[in-house]
Structure 1
Amino acid sequence: MSSDRDFVENISHQFERTAVRDHMSVEDATEHQFRLVETAAQVMGSDEVFVEDYGQVRELATVGFGGGGRPRATARVEEVLARFFGTDEAVLVHGAGTGSIRAMLNGIVEPGSRILLHKAHPYKTTLPAMQHMGLDVQYVDFNDASELERSLRAHSPSTFYLQHVPQQLGDSYGIEETIELARSVGGDDLRVLVDDNYAVMRSHRIGVEMGADASALSLFKLLAPQAIGAVLADADSAGRIRRDNASAGAQVQGPYAMAALRSLIYAPVALAIQNQTILRAVDEINAGIAAGDLPFLAGAYSAQPGIRCIVLLFDRPAAEHFLRSAWRHGSPSQSVGEEAQFEFLPLFTYLTSTFLKATPGLEKYAVRINPMRGGTQTVMRVLRDALADTEFQTALRA
């Protein structure tokens, strides 16, 4: 029992130290929605919001494209995104978040060049993309500003790569401060790229709005019905990405682009309500623990282990038994694309793989809850039913 207690106390302290990135309030998210609609109105006018063509129009594709065409509606949606985020260009790509990261790397980073990453496990499809390009990957702890500065001077990377959301327990560095440090040491030739997945439409600003050269994001995780993403970048970089995807089969067609924009309109408020639910549920869970009403739990945290969620910490290695119980009492047992529009029931599941790899044993003591579109009442009902489950309690007391 003492080893359980020591491990749980250590994990608890680490969660308290781990950053939770900026999240908009419902009021701010509403203004974000209004600003996106106003931007679309300026770009598209009125009836043009109903244009969903597959045709090619060369005159809308020459800037930063090197010739060639793209669907009119796709070009319009890309212009809306570029204006909204204050960048030269936006390029829609297939493959959601992974596709946007690969497109960003392929379009901006020279094969075989040196790239500097945070000393943590990257997202599972990011490192393979870098390895396939033959990049010289170097790691440094972004949480230590002095070490980061020394590494930038010693390694002289051509590219500096950040993941907006925390990658492991203990990550506390600020995004804007880290970008500023990289810029001050690396100079104008250093390309700063940000994986903004799970931060867009949550945070007030994303990487390109804080001084980065490019941002990659998933529109699929922002309620788009198709698995598409976007890269926000300067005109030259966008042109290279478009040339790489110049065939019609590789381009995002107009109906998909318009569907993504229509869905994106609703994302800020939906995500702000989700964040509000997380904060309220954590307060209610911790009150229940203090009152002795929620057995086996050591604490709850409003955290962001890759994905914004509630983290439940158990006082013993109960996580696997608990999840099996939660799946019997209302939570899906799998995800078809977490945060995608297809998912709305609260999801009780394991922590993200990057966090688990960085902290061996964490998978036995902690789980996460993503409320999705559900409220505190639904989260608490599933939680209480799962804890009261006879099979779960029998397994823990065996």
Structure 2
Amino acid sequence: MQTYPLKSLSLEQAIKLQQKLVDAIQRQFKGAELLQAGDYGLDPEFKKPRYTARVEKVLADFFGAEKALLVRGAGTGAIRAFFNANLEVGSKVLIHEAAVYPTTEVTFKSMDLETKKFDFNRLKEMEAQKLLPAEDFAAILVQHSRQKIDDSYDFGRVIKILKAKYPETPIITDDNYAAMKVEQIGVERGADLSTFSLFKLQGPPGIGLLVGKKKYLDKVEAINYSGGSQVQGPEAMDALRSMVNTPVSLAIQAQTVEEVNQRLNQGEVEAVKNSFIANAQSKVVIIEFEQAIARDFLAAVNEQGGVPYPVGSESRYEIGAMFYRISGTFRQENPEAEKYLVRINPMRAGADTVIRIIKETISALKGQG
């Protein structure tokens, strides 16, 4: 099966990205302030916790954007906040021709948004601009990670082409599963706004980030003015400190993905017919079994130490190698694949651990037979 995973940062690139973030932090905070937990409540100057405002400034500078905003509801909340604040009910949105991520679809339905789909993989046709819809859109949503298993579009080129065709339309990117793993997120590639979950970057549960054009984020901030809507200072500082560690750990994880895939394709596990790397949300190894044992395998892997389901997908709570079914959007494209395919994210585990768990689980299934 041909797949087109996103290009991960090398370990050297990840180290530089980590150091870039720390530099941005130390430009904004005094030394002793970095040893503080953070404050609570609506500071009279910022109308939010002072430390939250400082963290937002760090992240805006880090991503080279006009403004950053921390919100509740993780990545889903960040996307929802943009649409709620900037679009009218019933507005028209251009999206990729693929199954919509389930939580994003809830936002679309709740606002009765009309979606127009276009296959972003058709880059040559897009560049000609003739086949792109000749319509006015209130917003364009581009997902950074793959939505279909055979998606191949160049994220940066798609943004550039869409911005040339629709210069007045805000382009918002869903950078979940890509932020801190790749060289640049959407706002760094010319999009108006990037959104993603800091929970997926080892931060505290429920914290999301919007970063980009001030005129859109001011509207989001305006509808989140109450004390209960604020991300408190200790949460913001916790998220920032956790984010520092992610580029290097995620680059090591990407290296492990490559090693596991290579060893499986060299025949190290007899029952595995094929293995490939895909951005099935996160960058993972997807194994294809010779027989339709995927569901039985997933039911048994827990006993061998395999983590059977995600928490927040690469959250701080997930350290062991995870074995779970292929993503919902991929299942919609090919329901039969669920019988043969299993998704593996090594998390902090090594390739030896991943392959040992696969072998032991298959052996246990044979023993049951």
Q: Does 1:58 align with 2:44?
A: yes
Q: Does 1:302 align with 2:282?
A: no
How do residues 305-316 of structure 1 correspond to structure 2 at under 5 angstroms?
A: 305-316=280-291
Q: Does 1:110 align with 2:95?
A: no
**Aligned length, in residue pairs:** 366
Which residue, out of 273, 282, 285, partners 2:252?
273
Residue type of the alignment partner of 1:41: Q
Residue type of the alignment partner of 1:25: S
Percentage of identical aligned residues = 37
Structure 2 residue matching 1:215: 3-state secondary structure: strand
Deviation at 1:378, TM superposition (A): 1.0
Which residue, out of 372, 378, 385, partners 2:360?
385
Q: Does 1:202 align with 2:187?
A: no
Q: Is the 8 A contact 2:192 2:212 kept in 1?
A: yes
Q: Distance in 1 between matches of 2:345 and 2:124?
A: 35
Q: 1:392 to 1:349 in 2, by over 3 A?
A: farther
Structure 1 residue matching 2:102: 3-state secondary structure: coil
2:18 — aligned with what? 33
Deviation at 1:231, TM superposition (A): 0.4
* Residue-by-residue CA offset, 1:242-287 (whole Å, 9 max, x unaligned): 1111001011010100000010000111100100111111111122
How do residues 27-106 of structure 1 correspond to structure 2 at under 5 angstroms?
A: 27-49=12-34, 50=36, 52-59=38-45, 61=46, 69-106=47-84
Deviation at 1:154, TM superposition (A): 2.3
Q: Distance in 2 between matches of 1:170 and 1:342?
A: 30
Q: Distance in 1 between matches of 2:58 and 2:214?
A: 15
1:4 — aligned with what? none
1:342 — aligned with what? 317
Where does structure 1 lack aligned partners over 5 or more consecutive residues?
A: 1-11, 62-68
Q: 1:151 to 1:94 in 2, by over 3 A?
A: farther
Structure 1 residue matching 2:344: 3-state secondary structure: strand
Residue type of the alignment partner of 1:162: V
How do residues 277-296 of structure 1 correspond to structure 2 at under 5 angstroms?
A: 277-287=256-266, 289=267, 293-296=268-271
Q: Distance in 2 between matches of 1:394 and 1:56?
A: 60
Q: Distance in 1 between matches of 2:360 and 2:338?
A: 21
Which residue, out of 300, 303, 326, partners 1:328?
303
Q: Distance in 2 between matches of 1:125 and 1:150?
A: 32
Q: Distance in 2 between matches of 1:123 and 1:193?
A: 15
* Residue-by-residue CA offset, 1:51-100 (whole Å, 9 max, x unaligned): 511143333x3xxxxxxx01000000000000000111100001111111
Q: Does 1:165 align with 2:151?
A: no
Q: Is the 8 A contact 2:56 2:67 kept in 1?
A: yes
Structure 2 residue matching 1:343: 3-state secondary structure: coil
Which residue, out of 316, 329, 345, partners 1:354?
329
Q: Distance in 2 between matches of 1:147 and 1:392?
A: 50
Q: Distance in 2 between matches of 1:97 and 1:23?
A: 21
Deviation at 1:335, TM superposition (A): 2.3
Deviation at 1:328, TM superposition (A): 2.0
Q: Is the 8 A contact 1:168 1:355 kept in 2?
A: yes
2:351 — aligned with what? 376
Q: Is the 8 A contact 1:29 1:272 kept in 2?
A: yes
Residue type of the alignment partner of 2:48: R
Q: Distance in 1 between matches of 2:42 and 2:75?
A: 25
Q: Distance in 2 between matches of 1:180 and 1:45?
A: 38
Deviation at 1:233, TM superposition (A): 1.9
Q: Which deviates the most, 120-129 or 317-326?
A: 317-326
Which residue, out of 164, 171, 178, partners 2:158?
178
Residue type of the alignment partner of 1:340: S
Residue type of the alignment partner of 1:385: E
Deviation at 1:296, TM superposition (A): 2.2
Q: Distance in 2 between matches of 1:107 and 1:276?
A: 40
Q: Does 1:227 align with 2:206?
A: yes
How much is the aligned-residue C-alpha RMSD, in angstroms? Answer: 1.5
Deviation at 1:37, TM superposition (A): 0.3
1:253 — aligned with what? 232
Deviation at 1:318, TM superposition (A): 1.6
Which residue, out of 109, 114, 132, partners 1:136?
114
Q: 4+ residue stretches of structure 1 with deviation over 6 A? A: none
Q: 1:147 to 1:136 in 2, by over 3 A?
A: farther
Q: Is the 8 A contact 1:141 1:147 kept in 2?
A: no
Deviation at 1:333, TM superposition (A): 2.4
Deviation at 1:183, TM superposition (A): 1.1
Structure 2 residue matching 1:117: 3-state secondary structure: strand
Residue type of the alignment partner of 2:337: L
Deviation at 1:147, TM superposition (A): 5.4
1:22 — aligned with what? 7
1:190 — aligned with what? 169
Q: Distance in 2 between matches of 1:199 and 1:357?
A: 22
Q: 1:169 to 1:380 in 2, by over 3 A?
A: same
TM-score of the aligned structures, taking structure 1 as reference length: 0.89
Q: Distance in 2 between matches of 1:103 and 1:152?
A: 27
